[in-house]
Amino acid sequence: MKPLTLIALMALVMMIVLPVSSQTMSFIDVGFGEKQDVLVYANGTLLGQYNTSSPNIDVPAQDFQVLVQPSSTNVLEDPGTFLTSGFSFIETNVMVLIAISFILGVFARSAL
């Protein structure tokens, strides 16, 4: 085959085969507190209800809105969950908390 014919054939195949896109959305659960509900709406109708532990959320090809609805816990009813979540937050952000403490200490000392 001639190179020009091969290029024309490849261009024709590329025009016929349309790209297909799969739209998915992922959320990361940081592990602080309870799982959060994710509601997907399109044109005012509820398309699906997921939570942040879902690996993927299929989204429609049309315009849509995402509502993240946090769930709350009562510290007095379940202090164990609150403490576990608080300790995991401190463990994850220990370097930031140390840096903030250091900076506040420097400013406090310079104010004296």
Residue 5 lies in a domain: no
pLDDT the model gives residue 17 = 60
DSSP string, the chain: --HHHHHHHHHHHHHHS------EE------SSS--EEEEEETTEEEEEEETT-S-EE--SS--EEEEE-----TTT-HHHHHHHHHHHHHHTHHHHHHHHHHHHHHHHHH-
Give the structural domain span for 52.
21-72
Task: Domain count for the chain, please give it.
Answer: 2
pLDDT for 86-99, tens place per residue?
787 788 888 888 99
Tell me what pLDDT residue 36 has. Answer: 75
Query: Model pTM?
Result: 0.41
Name the pairing type of β-strands 65-69 and 37-42. antiparallel
User: Do 50 and 87 reside in the same domain of the chain?
Assistant: no
